Amino acid sequence: MKQAKILLLLFIGLGLILGLGKSQLLVLSAFGPEDSELSKVIYVVENNLTEKLITSVDTDGKKLAALSFDDGPDPLYTPGVLEILKRYQIKATFFVVGESVEAQPGLVKKEIEEGHELGNHTYSHPDLRSESDFKTEAEIHKTGQLLQKLSGTKGHFFRPPRRLYRKETIAIAERYGYKTVLWTICVENSKTKTPEEMAKRVIGAARPGMIILAHDGRLDRSLTLDALPMIIEGLQEQGYEFVTLEKLVGAGADN
């Protein structure tokens, strides 16, 4: 019954695709909850038909996965994330918010010193669906300048906050030298209430080239901190290696 329902939704989704232009499709993708069936349908479309969005990487079967963190740096949660990553000797990608970078430059320097990668998550974490091209450029450019000052590079990847964007957003990011990255699965989810449930869901969705989204700021991320070791150990037991997004995308380019 569940498979039939998903197939029906896929057909509905394909019908939506035929009736919508690309711009409308990208806007529509922002309205379904991250764990809804409609969102899953549109997400398949994004991954397969929109070349400028990265939601996973074809690694030719190599069990590589990228951990990424949004919304930091945050003095309450980022240090805990860094401690866990250090314990497991894992490098991750942190999509940082410019305002938080200015408030917590020491945490960003620590991320850099420990070998992690930085990504651009805008300056003030706005809803980019409703921002002008000028404001979107300012959000991306200002954070890029902060990253350049702290790390010597503005980074290679951009992620729109809460997956809210217009097609113009992707074009603007590209003009500033960024590839737009979303994710394969998000650790935080409305249907998972405990760290064990969060970890089980992510581990169950494992596939080569996956991009895992977690958060280290803005809200209470204590459950994420508890789930993270279980996710890492569970995927490592399956033979997965964690790499930065740059290395994951590079592995895909080699195929």
Active site residues: 70, 215
In terms of Cα–Cα distance, which of 44, 50, 65 is closest to 251? 65
CA–CA distance, 226 with 151 (Å, rounded to integer): 29
Q: What is the rounded radius of gyration, in angstroms, for the C-alpha atoms of the chain?
A: 18
Q: In b/e form, how buried is each residue of 165-185, taking b as 16+ CB within 10 angstroms?
A: bbbbbbebbeeeebbbbbbbb
In terms of Cα–Cα distance, which of 81, 56, 95, 94 is closest to 206? 56
In terms of Cα–Cα distance, which of 6, 1, 40 is closest to 184? 40
In the chain, DSSP assigns E strands to 53-54, 64-72, 93-96, 117-120, 157-158, 179-181, 185-186, 210-215, 241-243
